[in-house]
Amino acid sequence: MFSFKPKKTEVVEPKFNQDLEIISQMNQEFALSLDLNETLQTALKVIIQRISAKAANVFLINDKKKLFECIASVGQNYLDEYSIPITDGVMGKSVAQKKCIRVGNVRKDVREIAEFYFDLDNKTNFTTYSVLCAPLIAANECIGVIHCLNKKSENNLFEEEDRNLLETLAAPAAFAIRNAKMAKEMIEQNKTQKEIESLLLAVMLLASIRQTIAYPHSPLE
């Protein structure tokens, strides 16, 4: 007689379920706001908590200046208006390769990376041990990077599992940041358009007043 072994039930890993819940939560929270600053702070808060990072920041690409510009930071100070060339450091490498980069130990990495973080640490009064950097890609366009520093652990070092997780979380964050950025640009454009219309109206009104003063008995056209 043949004996049939029951098929093993596939067990979904709790961490995988947790990550799906976090992504769903991120999407819901992002959908509630098109404010760029609020979206950035939400993204960093969720990612820092899940990755267990000590600090994180978002650098967006300024296409005209060919620079990364820091527009949000948590856990690392003195980065306001901080910018670097888009080819520099782990950030440049992450964008060029369009993948999340992990530097397990900055001090033991190549000289270029070690010197980059030595300079950054001097500016921010922060000591970098390990780095994760994921490109923010939305609609096949890389708009910037999420940059995480130092894991909350005894050795401060990120593992490969952390790299995979940040790469997953970066996707919904990229779309949310892109949408908020577009909304901000549209508001600014509309504001500029209204200012131009108001200026033109003022010029026309001034011209009419001058015409009335110069020719008080002539009808206004």
Tens-digit pLDDT profile for residues 63-91: 999 999 998 999 988 887 789 999 998 99
Between 50 and 196, residue with greater pLDDT: 50
Identify whether 194 is part of a domain.
Answer: no
**Residue carrying the six token digits 């999420």:** 146
Identify whether 176 is part of a domain.
Answer: yes
Q: How many domains does the chain have?
A: 1
Instruction: Indicate if the pLDDT at residue 3 is higher than 70.
Output: no
Identify whether 157 is part of a domain.
Answer: yes
Q: Each residue of 9-33: pLDDT tens digit?
A: 554 455 656 666 666 666 666 656 5
CB 78 within 8 A of CB 97: no
- pLDDT confidence band for 178 (50 / 70 / 90): confident
Identify whether 1 is part of a domain.
Answer: no
Q: Enter the tokens of residue 139.
A: 């609609």
Identify whether 186 is part of a domain.
Answer: no
- Closest to 81 (Cα-Cα) out of 73, 91, 71: 71
Identify whether 151 is part of a domain.
Answer: yes
Identify whether 207 is part of a domain.
Answer: no
- Domain of 107, CATH number, reads 3.30.450.40
**Residue carrying the six token digits 């599992």:** 161
Identify whether 5 is part of a domain.
Answer: no
Alpha helix (H) residue ranges in the chain: 14-31, 36-51, 89-97, 111-124, 160-214
Please state, rounded to an integer, the average pLDDT across all residues of the chain: 80
DSSP letter assigned to residue 12 = P
Instruction: Indicate if the pLDDT at residue 135 is higher than 80.
Output: yes
Whole domain around residue 30: which residue ranges? 22-181
Angle at CA 141, nearest 5°, toward 136 and 143?
A: 45
pLDDT score recorded for residue 25: 66
CB 101 within 8 A of CB 90: yes
